[in-house]
Amino acid sequence: MLEVKGIGKTYGTGPKATHAIADVSFTVADGEFVCVVGPSGCGKTTLLKCIAGLLPPTRGEALVRGRRVEGPPEELALVFQEYGRSLMPWASVRNNVLLPLRHKKLSRAERSRLVEESLDAVGLTQFLDHYPWQLSGGMQQRVAIARALAYQPTTLLMDEPFASVDAQTRGDLEDLILRVREQYEITVLFVTHDIDESVYLPDRVVVLTHSPTEVKEIVPVGLPRPRDQIVTKELPEFAHLRGHVYRLIKREQQDDASATGGETSGGVPHAGTPV
């Protein structure tokens, strides 16, 4: 179980402090698929880095199986949006997937079994000896997913992983992650700004407010599994859920624009009001 308890992140101190995240709490049960969605610039990546132990939160804590996250926990594996920057260009696909295994106490045979198994799960076994930059964007992200799987985490944290691939590849990768998650019986926390994706994939959607971020609403997604890009998205429940989440986020964006005295309000100054 992954628990996020009152996490907040403030940059700087005093009157100039920026409150990126105010107070975010939710839990992810074992084996559950949870999406986090919010208006752009609401600190989704910051939140994920706090949960992953890469960034210390200013307030609150994340707990993995009851233990407080201080540094990157062994149970979590993180997949970044920028596959091109998270893969090592000097290493073959095999060595990229091996990276997290090198310091684990495993036999050589065990290591190569994990590498081959995880590359098989994403359908890339024949590209073991290629360099990442010889592959397409979607394939590179599959290498990054295989690397995360080889690490044998209980939970996969994904930071807008399919944001930089084209729409068709994105659909394929969404189905791939659903399939792999069944196969590996893995928990997934998936951050995205894509509303369709946030409804299509998970068991629950955590909708965030604009910055300083709080949880707006947690929406259960009761769509039947296995999901299908065509059939699921034709269901009236899907349209309904999508509309609901869309409305929540749209309202947030409008609130944000008027609160900051932006485009619509003609720039009324808010002297001295802490944001």
Partner 1 sequence: MSRRTYMGLKIGAEIAVPLALLAGWQLWTAHAHSVKFPRLSTILVQFKDMWLFSEFGTHVVPSLERIGLGFAIAVVAGIVLGIPLGLSRWARLWAMPHIEYWRAIPPPALLPISIVLLHSIDNRQKVAFIAFFCLFPVLLNTIDGVRGIDPTLVDTARSYGLGRLERIRRIVLPAALPQIVAGMRNSLSLAVITMVLSEYFSSTSGVGYVLLISKNTFQLAPMWAAIVLIGLLGYLLNVLFILAERRVLAWHRGWRASVAS
Among 31, 60, 100, 137, contact with partner 1 (rule: CB under 8 A): 100
166 belongs to the binding site for partner 1 (CB under 8 A): no
- Sole binder of partner 1 in the list 13, 16, 66, 102 (CB under 8 A): 102
DSSP states of the chain as a string? -EEEEEEEEEES-GGG-EEEEEEEEEEE-TT-EEEEE-STTS-HHHHHHHHHTSS--SEEEEEETTEEPSS--TTEEEE-S-HHHHS-TTS-HHHHHHGGGTTS---HHHHHHHHHHHHHHTT-GGGTTS-GGGS-HHHHHHHHHHHHHHT--SEEEEESTTTTS-HHHHHHHHHHHHHHHHHHT-EEEEEES-HHHHHHS-SEEEEE-SSSEEEEEEEE----SS--TTHHHHSHHHHHHHHHHHHHHHHHHHHHHHHTT-TTTT----TT---
Among 1, 31, 61, 91, the residue binding partner 1 under the rule CB under 8 A is 91
Q: Which of 15, 16, 66, 103 binds partner 1 (CB under 8 A)?
A: 103
The residue (of 38 and 73) whose beta carbon lies closer to partner 1 is 73
Task: Determine, following the binding rule CB under 8 A, whether residue 26 of this chain makes contact with partner 1.
Answer: no
Q: Is residue 105 a contact point for partner 1 (CB under 8 A)?
A: no
Binding residues for partner 1, total number by CB under 8 A: 27
Binds partner 1 (CB under 8 A): choice among 13, 90, 236, 273: 90
Among the residue ranges 26-34, 45-53, 194-202, 259-267, the one whose residues contact partner 1 (CB under 8 A)? 45-53
Q: Which residues sit at the interface with partner 1, rule CB under 8 A?
A: 49, 52-54, 71-72, 74, 76-78, 80, 82, 84-86, 88-91, 99-100, 102-103, 131, 133-134, 151
